[in-house]
Amino acid sequence: MRTAAAIVALAATAAVASAHSGSHSAASRKRHSEVKRASGYQLTGYYAGQDFLNLFDFATGSQNGGLANFVDEATAFNQGLVEVKNGEVHLRTASWVNPDGNSLNAIKLTSKATYAEGLYLWDVVRMPQVCGSWPAIWSTGPDWPNGGEIDLVEYVSLQSKNGFSVHTGPGCWAGSTGYTAENMLAGAQGNNCDAYATDSQGCGYRSAQNATCGIGANEEGAGVYAMEWSTAGIKAWYFPRNQIPQDITAKNPNPWSWSTPDMFISSATCDPSVYFKPQTLVVNSNICGTWPEGVWNMDNSYAGQVSGSCAALTGAATCRDYALGSASDFSHAYWRIGSFSVYNY
C-alpha cells in the first residue's frame, strides 16, 4: 500500500519512469514466443457469493490516515454495505457521514486462511470509481515487510491504470525484463522491493495499458486479475472481460500460454521462499488517506485519470473536505466480485 512520504515523488517521477519503460511497453500483451507448456494446475477452490464471504473476517478500525471506518460483519449487513446479489458479492461504502463527523463506514475483508504458492484468479465485475476512493486487493505476510506484501489491485480516485507492487525486507529486487508495466519510481531504486530502502514503497509498477482498473475497467465490464506464485517468482496479469483467456474460462488455466505479465518479480533476484511468507488476503476500499490526499491537486493523467485533478473536478480543496461534504458521491465506491479461484499443482 502506498504511504505518505513518497506520494508526491511517485507522481513527479511518473513521466520519467514512462520514458525508461519502453522495453516493457513495447512488448505489451505480446504472446510468448517459446513453446507453451502444459499447466498442471488443478482447481482447489472456487468461491462465489456467500462462499466467497465465508473465506473472510470483517476487520475493523482505519488505515493510512483515511476516513474509512471499517465495520464488523453485523454492522455491514445491517447497513446494507454487503450483499450477495445474482451470485456476485457487493461491497459498498457508506454514502453518509457518521455522527462523529469525521468518517464514513466501509468494508475491509481479511482472509481466515493464509495462502502461499499457487495461482489465484479474481473475477472482478465492478470496482470503486469516485474521487477520494482508495481501493485495493492485496495480501500481506507476518512481520511486515519481512513477510512480504503483494498488491494486485491498487489505485486511487478516477485513475484507470492499475498499480501492481510488492514490499519486502532487504535484498529483493525485480528484474528489468519479463513484464510490461512501467516503474512507478525512476532511477536506481525503481526495481528495489526493499521497503526499508524505499520509504516503505517497495517496487511499484503501473500498467502500461489504460482501463486496467477503476472507471476505465468498469466501462469494459472489468475482468480477471491473476497472480501466480511459483518457484520462478511472482507474476501478475490483468485481462479485460473481452480478453480473458479461454483456458481461464474453461477452469484449466495455463499461464505459459498467456501474454507477458504486467508484473514479474523473478526468483533470480528475489527468491519467493525467502521474501514471502504465507499471505493473508485483503479486500478493502479506503476513503482519502495519504495517497488520495497526496495527489488531490495533481493532474493524474499519468495514471489514466482523464479529468485531471480531483480538486478541479470536485471544487473541493482537499479530499477530506470532499468526502465529508459530498458523502453521497461515495455510493460509487463499491465492488462487485464475481468469484475467487485457487489453483495448485
DSSP assignment string, 150-188: EEEEE--TT--S-EEEEEBSTT-B--SSS--SEESS-SG
Chain position carrying cell 512507478: 184
Distances, alpha carbon 144 to alpha carbons 165, 296, 297, 305, in Å: 14, 28, 31, 31
Per residue in 45-60, pLDDT (tens digit) is 999 999 999 999 999 9
Give the confidence band of 187 by pLDDT, cuts at 50, 70, 90: confident
Chain position carrying cell 489491485: 153
CA distance 148 to 217: 27
* 157, 2 Cβ separation under 8 angstroms: no
Nearest to 202 by CA among 234, 232, 161: 234
In three-state secondary structure terms, 246 is helix
Per residue in 18-77, pLDDT (tens digit) is 433 443 333 333 333 333 466 799 999 999 999 999 999 999 999 999 999 999 999 999
In three-state secondary structure terms, 107 is coil
pTM greater than 0.85: yes
- 325 grid coordinates: 461534504
Domain count of the fold of the chain:
1
How many Cβ atoms sit within 10 Å of the Cβ of residue 59? 16
- Asked if residue 267 has pLDDT above 70, the reply is yes
**Could you tell me the residue range of the domain that residue 206 belongs to?**
4-344
- 277 grid coordinates: 511468507
Domain CATH number, residue 77: 2.60.120.200
CA distance 82 to 100: 22
Nearest to 55 by CA among 109, 119, 11: 109
